[in-house]
Structure 1
């Protein structure tokens, strides 16, 4: 079994739920600062050089950064009491369009994160001060050292109106970060890097050990952040350009320096949760029809084909790999945004964002890998997606990647073809005792069908890696304004079956490709 990620990272949704508003007030932050002059304007080259030099040294934990026991032993409720004081928010007195608040170390968040400000070529470290926080009912010693550092930070921008700041991005826990756009609720996360995720050797979690936040102008619509990543196997230099809005976009530039050979390096990883959905054929004792942050993997490969892979909560660890060259994009989507399909008045799963990764430049040959981990609760982030480059990751080398992550509400904007909007599975045939037959029902919808006359017939193209496809039917679905594909799979195989399907009219392919892994022995 693979080591799971920090699956209680989902608690960020509860600790700091969105939409979160911060009213603009006139206050002077009391943040201890010590200015450090740099000879050149601080930019990505500074981080790049530092990461390259760090990679030549053995990895070691800073003994002065060990989390004190009185913080390491905090439980969830105690940690939740610790809040950054709003009137101490970074840049609030300057009346800038961006402000930031910091997270205290403790509970699950034991790594020390150093924070700095860049202002006109001057780097200003931010020292820890307990006066920056309200501790509520949590009792801590009065002499917490300034060397404690922070666990991470959150960013605010006026998404809704000019009078209130909305929380739109969080960097917290290992190399995790997440973002939302206007009217979205916290859902899936991105990561700086994934190492050996899903491998039998266990997963390694690199972390952002230091950040530099560039002070924005008064009319800025973007915010630039630099980060230094560190772990036993690699170091990394990162630049994030954050553009909040209806869809928040984060543009990432990364240079990775291996300290040693890495067997499995995951680029642009996304982490999400899928507990159950309409394609779940195992009984779930839950009043809610569906519970998930994402319901499918979407890929646009280098040949121009769009592929949709519904997510699942498998009975055992499942890895799915898709070879490609110079991918156009990939992401974890929350396509189903109908409240009636969730019935959750607290978690707002119907407003969770999708995340779409778009490579900037040619990434060459590699593999998309989807990791699906069994979970018995929605608190566990059990879905991971990333790109594995074909080029071996050797000690002393350097890998460079640039990409954007778009946190979107609706993914129709990404393509014009027909989209899969539902996947359902049930007993096939007319005899309930026939275990050899399973029926699959796939609904397609989208603008590709808008100009088709109602009587138009479409052909369903279905293939299976094993078994036999029978009783294939395509029907117009007037309720979804699309088409429904029915087919049955006849198989006696005891192993998984890979299925693919799409709709076409003559020689014209009208839809993305539906891709599904079915295991007839795991129900």
Structure 2
């Protein structure tokens, strides 16, 4: 199961969309694409349309000319380059568009908004440099766009792109694309299969200098909604996106994911034996971080299970959560092609009342780095009947480290291996866990300061010989313990921290072990 879809989900009933200005287009300007006649635009009006769409039955919209789109494979799609002289300059923000292809089969209508009036960007094959033998020449002249990207002022490259279902991503603080966000997730990780609502219309609004404003209509089998994103690009510091969303269910949804983040985790120092690859680690993110309203922060190290695993952290909406690339040491990756050490951290900060629910993590099996197999999102505890408006506002931070930092020590390394002691026979029913912590709360503490481990395990799981000690020559502390389980145990959930005098010195490590999977590799 791949969380980043290979094609767009079908769109909702187009007959319900508000009328668009007729195709009485202006003449092609010397630069930029053709824009259709203007029509009134507002966020509230678009939200009202989304509500009307959700009240009507869903009508699939199959891709046009699927046999042609199938021939526009990865290589052919990559060769379809948008012409620089046709760049749309939306209030000084340069925007280019992606062509459709085998992985992007549903068109997205694009609009430029000025002074409350929206003008559709008219697709034309002439907007793209196409090789003479490109199958794209066989598409209809009104085929449409697949997505968009916003470029740097000198057109040297993009810093944010929207492409595929409702996915988008930025280059973050370190100039390297990695994980993605999307508008909404529906039934992720469930046996019934995931639904991928998609952007059907995107509006590029006028914005203050240094910002871009993107408003998108999203439609799917189960819902419709509108997302407005005020995006600030801070070169060298990352991007901040203030998101305002209005959501309307068409029918009941088993698992609704708010502010979903999608990433890739193959292996790290924790599960190095998962791969025969030459690189020490391969992942876009190495953990899920949660800062609750009350209590210590939580660090959930990512893993690759042998099956789909869903983990929920229930309670009031947190101060923030995110998929984090905490390890920034190039030597731990050794990849000078895709630079995993530079992949962004994305942090979600609720800015409206989300109520109660759960930060939900879904981990899927994978055997390489080509598929996104990690997704994290907020799941509301209760949902209203279909038709009622849901509002979830939040800020997305695309940064090099999570913005909510405390004095508590953080987990900097998580390792597992065979249980027992060196030089002695290894017990088959034990797994050793080694956690390294670093942070201000540990400053100046030594062996005599009574730093103690605190570990929570489920009934029937035995924790053997837990101890914590400073690592000589460093500012780090190490927590070590063995986990003993009954034969055939599939999954074990653990919580671990280090304390002094009953006070937490570190965040809480929330780990999941898969003893049966480990046993199979012995």
Same fold (TM over 0.5): yes
Task: Report the more deviating stretch, 345-354 or 449-458.
Answer: 449-458
Q: What residue number does 1:338 align with? A: 329
Q: Distance in 1 between matches of 2:393 and 2:253?
A: 20
Aligned with residue 223 of structure 1, among 203, 212, 215: 212
Matches within 5 A, 1:176-325: 176-217=167-208, 220-245=209-234, 246-280=237-271, 282-325=273-316
Q: For 1:141-160, list aligned pairs within 5 A.
A: 142=137, 144-157=139-152
* Pair 1:428-2:419 in alignment: yes
Q: Which residue is equivalent to 1:73? A: 71
1-structure distance, mates of 2:132, 2:279? 34
Is the Cα contact below 8 Å between 1:354 and 1:408 reproduced in 2? yes
Name the structure 2 match of 1:88.
86
- After superposition, the Cα gap between the structure-2 partners of 1:415 and 1:7, relative to the gap in structure 1 and judged at 3 Å, is farther
**Other structure's SS at 2:77 match:** helix
1:488 equivalent in alignment to 2:482: yes
Deviations along 1:224-272, one digit per CA (max 9) or x if unpaired, are 1111000011000110111111121111111111111111111111100
Distance 1:366 1:67, change over 3 A: farther
CA distance in 1, matches of 2:136, 2:507: 58
Question: What secondary structure, in the 3-state scheme, does the structure 1 residue paired with 2:517 have?
Answer: coil
**Helix, strand or coil: the match of 2:273?**
coil
Displacement of 1:7 in angstroms is 5.6
Match status 1:444 vs 2:442: no
SS in 1 for 2:49: helix
Give yes or no for the alignment of 1:105 onto 2:100.
yes
Distance 1:273 1:328 in 2: 24
1:121 maps onto 2:120 in alignment: no
Cα gap change, 1:478/1:133 in structure 2, threshold over 3 Å: closer, same or farther? farther
**Structure 1 residues 122 and 392, CA gap change in structure 2 (3 angstroms):** closer
In the alignment, which residue of structure 1 is the partner of 2:128?
Answer: 133
Q: Is the contact between residue 464 and residue 499 of structure 1 (CA under 8 Å) also seen in structure 2?
A: yes
**Cα 1:123/1:7, change in 2 over 3 Å:** closer
Partner of 1:49: 48
Counterpart of 1:19 in structure 2 is none
Count of residues paired in the alignment:
491
Change (3 A) 1:144 1:286: closer
| Equivalent position SS for 1:148 | coil
Partner residue of 1:4? 2
What per-residue deviation string (whole Å, max 9, x for no partner) do you get for residues 282-307 of structure 1? 34211101000000011112324310
TM-score (norm 1): 0.89
Q: Secondary structure at the match of 1:521?
A: helix
CA–CA distance in 2 between the matches of 1:286 and 1:117?
A: 46
Question: SS in structure 2 opposite 1:336?
Answer: coil
Whether the 8 Å CA contact 1:445–1:480 is kept in 2: the answer is: no
- The alpha-carbon deviation at position 165 of structure 1 amounts to 4.9
Q: Which moved more, 1:269-278 or 1:127-136?
A: 127-136
The match for 1:470 among 464, 474, 479 is 464
Separation (CA, whole Å) in 1 of partners of 2:210 and 2:472: 43
Indicate the residue corresponding to 1:34 in structure 2: 36
Distance 1:503 1:433, change over 3 A: closer
- What secondary structure is seen at the aligned counterpart in 1 of 2:326? coil
Give the alignment partner of residue 507 of structure 1, picking from 498, 502, 505: 502
1:322 shift after superposition? 1.5
Contact 1:128 1:145 in 2 (8 A): no
TM-score (norm 2): 0.89
Partner of 2:16: none
Q: Residue 35 of structure 1: CA displacement? A: 2.2
Matched ranges for 1:382-421 at <5 A: 382-411=373-402, 414-421=405-412
What is the CA-CA distance between 1:87 and the residue it aligns to? 2.1
Matched residue, 1:376: 367
Partner Cα separation in structure 2 for residue 54 and residue 516 of structure 1 = 42
User: SS at the partner of 1:282?
Assistant: helix
Gaps of 5+ in 1: 10-26
Which whole-Å CA distance do the structure 2 matches of 1:230 and 1:88 have between them? 29
Q: Does structure 2 conserve the Cα–Cα contact (< 8 Å) formed by 1:81 and 1:138?
A: no
Alignment of 1:54-65 (within 5 A): 54-62=53-61
Contact kept, 8 Å, 1:35 with 1:122, in 2: the verdict is: no
